[in-house]
Amino acid sequence: MFFIGPSGMKFVSAGDLASESFDKNDFTQDNAWHELDVSSAVPAGTALVVWRIIATCATAGFLAKIRPNGYTNEKNMLDLMVIVANKNVCETFAMVLPADHKLEYKFSNVAWGTIFLTPVGWFV
């Protein structure tokens, strides 16, 4: 499935995935920035990715942040806050994918129950 917009970019659906691309074991949870190589989930030549994240945390008020690799400010990124303890927080977001196919993330240093990050699709 794909969509060609007026700019000539094409949207490619990730399809009916059998499992999440990244889970809790792929993320260090220590309130520091880390890199995540997403080349296993998104093909070369991708300019923009639509992601879906699902997370649960045993404590309300904690954050997860995701930004393109190389960004240094905490302005243009995903902020995911746990509002209610032990309840799924879900977000679908679009993010530019740098040429190195890496994102940076930061998860608060608390007991995360679930973290799933999966591409919904991408623009090429």
pLDDT > 50? residue 1? no
In the chain, pLDDT over 90 holds for what percent of residues? 77
Condensed to tens digits (0 to 9), the pLDDT of residues 89-101 reads 999 999 999 999 9
Mean per-residue pLDDT over the chain, rounded: 91
- Report the alpha-carbon distance of residue 76 to residue 124 in Å, rounded: 21
**Residue 106, domain extent:** 2-123
Contacts of 37 (CB under 8 A, 6+ apart): 100, 101, 102
Query: Domain tally for the chain?
Result: 1
Q: What is the CATH number of the domain that holds 9?
A: 2.60.120
Question: What are the Cα distances from residue 88, in Å, to 29, 60, 123?
Answer: 17, 11, 27
Q: What are phi and psi of 24, to 5 degrees?
A: -50, -35
Residue 25: strand, helix, or coil: helix
pLDDT > 80? residue 123? yes
Are the beta carbons of 55 and 115 closer than 8 angstroms?
yes
